[in-house]
Chains A and B, each alone.
Chain A
Amino acid sequence: MNATAPIAPLLRGLKLLTGPLAGTAAAPLALALMLALGSQFNEFPLGIQAGIAVLAVVWFLRRRQETGPLTGWRLWLAGLACALGVRWQYGYWFGQEPGVALVALLVWLKWLETRSERDERMVAALALFLLTAVFLRGQTPLHALAVFAGAGLVLLACARLTLSSFQRLPTDQPARDAARTMAWAIPLALLLFVLVPRVPGPLWGLPADARAGKTGLSETLEAGSIAQLARSDEIAFVVEVQEGELPAARYWRGPVLEVYDGRSWKPSPWRAPNPALEATQGSAKVRYRSLQEPSDLPWIFTLERTHALSGAVEVERTSTGSWRARRPLLQRTRFTGEARFGEPLPEALTSTAIRALTFLPPQANPRTREAGEAIAREHLQPEARLEAIADFFRKRQLRYTLTPPPVARDSADAVLFDTHAGFCEHFADAFAVMARAAGLPARIVLGYLGGERNPANGTWIIRQADAHSWVEVWLAPHGWVRVDPTTFAQPERAERGLGEVLLEREGLPLLLRPEWRWAWRLRAQLEAWEYGWNVWVAGFDAERQHRLWRSLGWRPDRALGWALAATGMALALAALLAWWLQRPPTSRDPLERQWHRFCRLMARRGLARAPAEGPLDYGRRLMRHFPQASGEIEALLRPYLQARYGGGLATEEAAAAMRRALHQLRRRLRQEKSA
């Protein structure tokens, strides 16, 4: 009693607050809606948030005071206001976001006008929809916990609704039965999860406003765009090495930017096939799997020189050697890749391509262009020119910082001649401009550099803070050579993390700072678990399902039929299991067990034993009904009575006699029936 003492006033207060709502179906349903909407509340715009809050409070007050259902023009007006509010907040009608917001508002209106059990069941269905919509925002264990708890509450509400016509019902009994059924459903649900063949989505295409809801690398480069990202320690992707070893300098390539307009770099829309890419070179081979977090772009970040890639979505290799999917990667996606590195990326450039890749807008960055052109005049060989530019950069004594002084325009000039400070995008931009001025085809690569090994499960975690940009320069006989201008400012960056090489740590995520190692280790363990969850639960897709089937020995081409058959068997098994669980409890006592078998046999013939009827009375009644079988009935009753009420017969012996008699009786009754 002492343990419950502090909670008692709390419960009393809660009861005072909820008033007549306690014990009704509305209470768990309201809690489920709070879970569903609470898990995605900050995804709604302010107006929608306010609308939901107001409607919820109105609903609560009206229900609490047992005001009747809302009807007539007020309801219609409120509905119209909700629709217009959604249109005003989002600016368009149709899409995923306004759709969910509209349901989130209308569910309260529906509930305000609710009158019957059927209406409340409608609200329950809408609550289930809103709970599923939470998974559009994220599929972490926390989301799963909230949603499954909410769904359980909805089912509890259904159980209470079923009994709403009963008065003064004990409230805990339906809840207990509902909870038991929900628990029994778990094994079957697991089987269905593994066995029911996954249909690869999307079925009808995603709405235009589908978003990943995450910030990541964009596909253009402007001064400051990466430094912003370096402050985020969110995971970009996780890599699991299957074969070989990752190189010390782990460059993860994303989009390649070839178009420069004097301010920003963009990917080239020009996509010619590049047959040279097919030639794989290099001896060092790595096979890896990566799990990439959702983003609004289709780019897949792969280890440099990845020549083969596959995944749950369709992928293609661009002419620049980058990989992209057909559609934006709005879901967390898993890829398997193979890379061979050690040699330059081969490509034979036409003169048109060379002209395009050395193009600079005439007015921008005059000083850098002049320096580049001077180098071109001094050196004829491309290698010599490249070396001269590198020398130029080294001599500038550039400072690597997350917070460089702002530059307005001509950023390459500003970094090289005025501020001498910058982040990777500033150096890459300046280097590419100077290389182009020196007549070398150059482009910028966006991606990630490095990543750290998670000691808990051996995976490599690449974070947004590892975002990086570097330059590729085309050298006539070889092809594209990677140059990382950041190393001129900070030579260690290529092989070490940002936190270790930055001198000023201002603005860096806490966990990237070396003095926070203990927290880092804790987080590593959490992230290892999260990776397992993402791969096995949240990321369990058609591909992973097929792989699991294959490991169980099913051939994928026949797996569909197998899966259907297995699903049917699972359902049948579940029904059997349920049957077994629901049958009357059997006794451990062998005597009692035989007696129950006998009673059940008779009950099937419509002669159930009355609760107050003793074995003797029952036996007499049965003999009257089945005079032909009276001998068998007596043969069965006598050992039971003797063992039970002191006739000196051992239990085992009596049970065996009863079993024999039961067998005889069953045969006799069958004979009777056929006769």
Chain B
Amino acid sequence: MTGRAVPSWRKRLERWQRRRAATPGGTFTVTNRTLYILPTAAGAGYALTLLVLWLLAINYSLSLGHALVFWLAAVAVMAIPATAASLRGVAIDVGEPEAVFAGERLRWPVMLRSEVARFRPLELTAPEAHAFAWLTPTEGSVRVFLEQDTERRGLVRLGRLVVATRHPFGWFRAWTVLWPTTSAWVYPRPEPDAPPWPATASLAEEAGAMSAGVRPGEEDFADLRPWRAGEPLRRVLWKIVARGGPRMLPRREGPAAGTVLLRWNDTAGADNVEARLSRLCAWVLGAHRQGLAFGVELPDGLMPPDRGESHLHAVLRRLALFPPEAA
């Protein structure tokens, strides 16, 4: 952890809260067991104001002043259950966010539902993420995104999520703490201007000019596919249409005639593990963009060449989980 010492009572408090927040099912519902409530600074200020007004009423024997102070105090007392009820019964589901590259923002989708129809303004706080959401009697569920900056690759969790409300007067804050178990993939950061992979990466039998991908103006019908309704017209090859042919598009995502094997050892030019992973990542993305079949050879194993989205993500996950100092 960081250099700052975490006091032991905090750890103990967190352990206690974790025990209470543990849910067998996937959805976390705020109950009295997991709801905490304390006065806020505004509440303390309000109490001080009431004390002053009470002394004023006593000193001048203002019976109606007493009545006013007692009413204001009674409102504060009633605000405690009202604040708790604004949070109790909220079901919180943290979904899986889309995978991102390190340095991008993770968007954790948080689904909030309310079993009992009432107005609930909620404030969500997670490490370095903050969001506001509200439920109304007519809109019983809402999805908000907690945006979290990422720095390190890996499989990450949201961390300590606090859902709080100060409704209706702001004198009390009711909150609940949970540690969502859903996780998100953070892939290594692709190197911005990565050098091309070495020629030796292209596997021998298919080595050739194709590794550079489709060059504009040199398409032939083998690299084309028919246009489908809804696709952007600007990509249609009008030369063919002008010759009386059908609307055709260059086939970019289709299987390109090429296979590369991207090797860990080829990234030796980069300084450290992370930089090498970044370069590999950039190469993988480049190969995928060009529609090449690509494989990755890492010190701890080989991923055989393949194409497609699922292969890409499998490779990127592998890179994300690469042990930090394994080299």
Q: Hey, which chain A residues are within 8 Å of B70, CB to CB?
A: 189, 192-193, 196
How many Å lie between the Cα of A199 and that of B91 in the bound state?
A: 48
Given the interface pairs A125-B49, A148-B68, A158-B170, the reply to whether A540 lies near B63 with Cβ below 8 Å is yes
- Across the interface, A181 reaches (CB within 8 A) one of B78, B113, B170, namely B78
Tell whether, in the assembled complex, residue B62 and residue A135 are in contact, meaning their CB atoms are under 8 Å apart.
yes
Which residues does chain A contribute within 8 Å of B168, judged by CB atoms? 159, 162, 174, 177-178, 181
B24 touches A625 (CB 8 A): yes
Chain B nearest Cβ from A189, distance in angstroms:
4
Residues of chain B within 8 A of A135, CB atoms compared: 57, 60, 62, 64-65, 68
A537 within 8 A of B: yes
Pairwise interchain contact A331-B61, C-beta atoms closer than 8 A = yes
Residues of B within 8 A of A199 (CB): 58
Contact with B along A191-214 (1 / 0, CB 8 A): 011001011111110100010000
The answer to whether B132 touches A181, judged by C-beta atoms less than 8 angstroms apart, is no
Whether A177 contacts B65 by the Cβ 8 Å rule is no
Contact of B53 among A132, A167, A186, A604 (CB under 8 A): A132
Question: Given A181-B75, A188-B74, A189-B74: A538 and B59 within 8 A (CB)?
Answer: no
B223 to chain A, nearest CB (A): 47
CB contacts (< 8 Å) of A420 on chain B: these are none
List B contacts of A177 (CB < 8 A). 82, 86, 118-119, 167-168
B-chain residues with CB within 8 Å of residue A163 when the two chains form the complex = 121, 167
For residue A173, which residue of chain B has the nearest CB? Answer: B119
Query: Is B251 positioned at the interface, with any CB of A under 8 Å from its CB?
Result: no
Q: How far is the CA of A584 from the CA of B118 in the complex (A)?
A: 10
**In the docked arrangement, what's the CA distance between A204 and B52, Å?**
13
Interface residues of A, dominant DSSP: helix
CA distance A170 to B75 in the complex (A): 23
A414 at the interface (CB under 8 A from B): no
Q: Is A235 an interface residue (CB 8 A)?
A: no
- In the complex, residue of chain A having the shortest beta-carbon distance to the beta carbon of B166: A162
**Contact between chains at A174 and B119 (CB < 8 Å):** yes
Q: Give the most central of A161, A192, A204: most B CB within 10 Å.
A: A192
Q: How far is B62's CA from A200's CA once the two chains are assembled, in angstroms?
A: 11
Q: Which of B22-78 contact A (CB under 8 A)?
A: 22-25, 27, 29, 31, 33, 41-42, 45-46, 49, 52-53, 55-75, 77-78
Q: Which residue of B lies closest to A330 (CB)?
A: B60
A208 to chain B, nearest CB (A): 14
Query: Which of B31, B42, B53, B66 touches A129 (beta carbons < 8 Å)?
Result: B53
Mask of B130-141 contacts with A, CB within 8 angstroms, 1/0: 001010100011
Q: Which of B53, B71, B119, B134 is within 8 Å of A189, CB to CB?
A: B71
Q: How far is the CA of A152 from the CA of B31 in the complex (A)?
A: 31
Size of the B side of the interface (Cβ < 8 Å), in residues, is 66
Q: Is the CB of B59 within 8 A of A203?
A: yes
Q: Is A73 part of the contact surface with B, judged by Cβ < 8 Å? A: no
- Complex: A198 Cα to B115 Cα, angstroms: 44
Is the pair A178, B68 in contact by a Cβ cutoff of 8 Å? no
Other-chain contact of A201, B25, B59, B74, B88 (Cβ < 8 Å)? B59
Give CA–CA (A414, B75) in the complex, Å.
66
Let me know if A575 is at the binding interface, CB within 8 A: yes
Asked, given contacts A174-B167, A177-B167, A189-B70, whether A606 binds B59 with beta carbons under 8 Å apart, the answer is no
Select from chain A the residue with minimum beta-carbon distance to B89: A584
A608 touches B115 (CB 8 A): yes
A194, chain B: closest CB distance, angstroms: 10
Interface size for A (C-beta < 8 A) is 81
**Contact present for B49 and A151 (CB under 8 Å):** no
Q: Mark A599-623, 1 if CB is under 8 A from B, else 0.
A: 0000111111011000000000100
Q: Does B80 contact A (CB under 8 A)?
A: yes
Residue from B52, B75, B134 in contact with A185 in the complex, judged by beta carbons closer than 8 Å: B75
- Say whether A206 contacts B59, CB under 8 Å: yes
Taken together as a complex, chains A and B put the C-alpha atoms of A173 and B58 apart, in Å, by 36
- Min Cβ gap B31→A in Å is 6
B85 at the interface (CB under 8 A from A): yes
- Closest B residue to A175 by CB, please name it: B168
- The stretch from A136-144, A365-373, A646-654 touching chain B is A136-144
Question: A50 an interface residue at 8 Å Cβ cutoff?
Answer: no
Complex: A174 Cα to B134 Cα, angstroms: 11
| B81 and A578 contact, CB distance less than 8 A | yes
Q: Does any Cβ of A come within 8 Å of B314's Cβ?
A: no
Q: Decide if B169 is an interface residue (CB 8 Å cutoff).
A: yes
A537: B residues at CB distance < 8 A: 63-64, 67
CA A393 – CA B71 in complex, angstroms?
61
10 closest A-B pairs by CB: A162-B170, A185-B74, A578-B81, A582-B85, A192-B70, A189-B71, A188-B74, A189-B74, A173-B119, A125-B49
| 9 A-B residue pairs with CB within 8 Å | A173-B136, A174-B167, A177-B167, A203-B59, A204-B59, A537-B67, A578-B80, A606-B22, A611-B115
Residues of A within 8 A of B (CB): 117-118, 121-122, 125, 128-129, 131-133, 135-136, 139, 143-144, 147-148, 151, 155, 158-159, 161-163, 165-167, 169-170, 173-174, 176-178, 180-182, 184-186, 188-189, 192-193, 196, 198-204, 206, 210, 312, 330-331, 537-541, 571, 574-575, 578-579, 581-582, 584-585, 603-608, 610-611, 621, 625
* B residues lining the A interface (CB < 8 Å): 22-25, 27, 29, 31, 33, 41-42, 45-46, 49, 52-53, 55-75, 77-82, 84-86, 88-89, 91, 113, 115-116, 118-119, 121, 123, 132, 134, 136, 140-141, 166-171
Give me 20 other A-B pairs in contact (C-beta within 8 A), A196-B66, A571-B77, A575-B77 excluded. Answer: A132-B62, A132-B65, A135-B62, A144-B64, A148-B68, A174-B121, A177-B168, A181-B75, A185-B71, A186-B74, A198-B58, A198-B66, A202-B60, A202-B61, A540-B63, A575-B80, A585-B116, A605-B24, A606-B24, A608-B25
